[in-house]
Structure 1
Amino acid sequence: MNGLMNMASAVGPLAAGWGVHSVWMRRRLSVARHDPLSGLWTRDAFEHRAARLLARHPHVVVVLVDLDGFKALNDSHGHAAGDAAIRATARSLAAALAPYRAAVVGRLGGDEFAAAVVLPYPIASSWLLRGVHDEITAPFRHDGRRLTVGASIGGALSSAVPAGAGRELPALLRLADEAMYMAKRGGGGCQTAAFTSRHTTTAGRRTGRPGTHTTPRGEAS
């Protein structure tokens, strides 16, 4: 009996130590998966969770958001104002998507954001995009001033494309990217993707976007 008690007293601190370590590791992983400025999921974490939503629900809209006038805001008011715009955009996305059943939101980098949102029925996608645009372009306060940014937004609805690879996340992101580009060419606002691709793509993004180019054979380089 004394032997069992001695063993328990020895194992107890070790188990407690592993428990603390496990909690610490989970917290570190959670921090690594969240963008430190916006608090949103990072690209990899977003893509993992968005793919799960697409696998489980029939109507999911994939949304890409690119801020308009962000560089001018940085140049005019400083990088702190740009950081405030990123945080305000994250809050706006959370507010716009709060009424929906399930949503995943991430910051892809710079002033580009993405979301995957489960819809009750397909027609809700246009309402969602307008709501996101209205929230993001509303004024926010920084250093005692009211500032604004514009937004170009593209959306691709999973149930609006043929079944198969076209409903997987990379394909829907490409369609949303094309729709966002069309919105930007029109001066901002929101645009829903059509069924077929209007632009060539390189490494999963529309050819011609910063950071994408092709070799003479048309391969990504």
Structure 2
Amino acid sequence: MIYMKFIKVFLSIIIGLIVIIFVGVLIFLNSIKVEVTDDDLPQGIYTETGDLESISQVYLLGIVVASDADQYTLINGFMNYMILDSIRKNINPDYDPLADLDTVEADYVTYDKNFYIDYIYANLNDDNQIVVTAAFGSDSIIKVDSALNLVFDIDLDISFTNIGFTLTLVDYSLSDTALSFQVLDFIMSKLDKTEIEGQMSMGVLDLDTYTYTLSILNP
């Protein structure tokens, strides 16, 4: 009898823990849930038919004569052209989410049965910071859609000898949930940083310092 009571108590504890963990996971998933759609993309850039790299260089040169406010807008435009150009040159040449093709290749930056990324784009916030959003999800066990938001300070470098800028990561979050840089450092330690850095079609990405640098001398 004592043995049977022990088994019942033990099973009750296990079931209780499973329920708590399951509920906790559902609460966490709900807290990071966010829906990103085609409407969030910079429409004009994604329907551009010209050479993306050439157009982005025009944006870079435009920084010289632009007002202070317009300089940040031009950098945001450059970043979106660079992101799309990098995706098509180095990750998925068929990526075209606004084309209504309804294919995996067109709709997703990258896709497998456990994980996908469907959007990466940049926005300029009210503090003149670049916010790069990477929307991702999974259809594996539980349907999950979320977004990683990376916030960068902008440092302009405009002189007689150079035109460029440096973006420095100062904050990031999973949906609206802020995360520490210790978490990011741990994740990066498990990835091939050199491979990721090499996917930029323009500029230099440094995942040790979390910076992106673009110079007309080193496009």
**Fold-level similarity (TM above 0.5):** no
Higher helix share: 1
Higher strand share: 2
Q: Larger relative CO (CA 8 A, sep 6+): 1 or 2?
A: 1
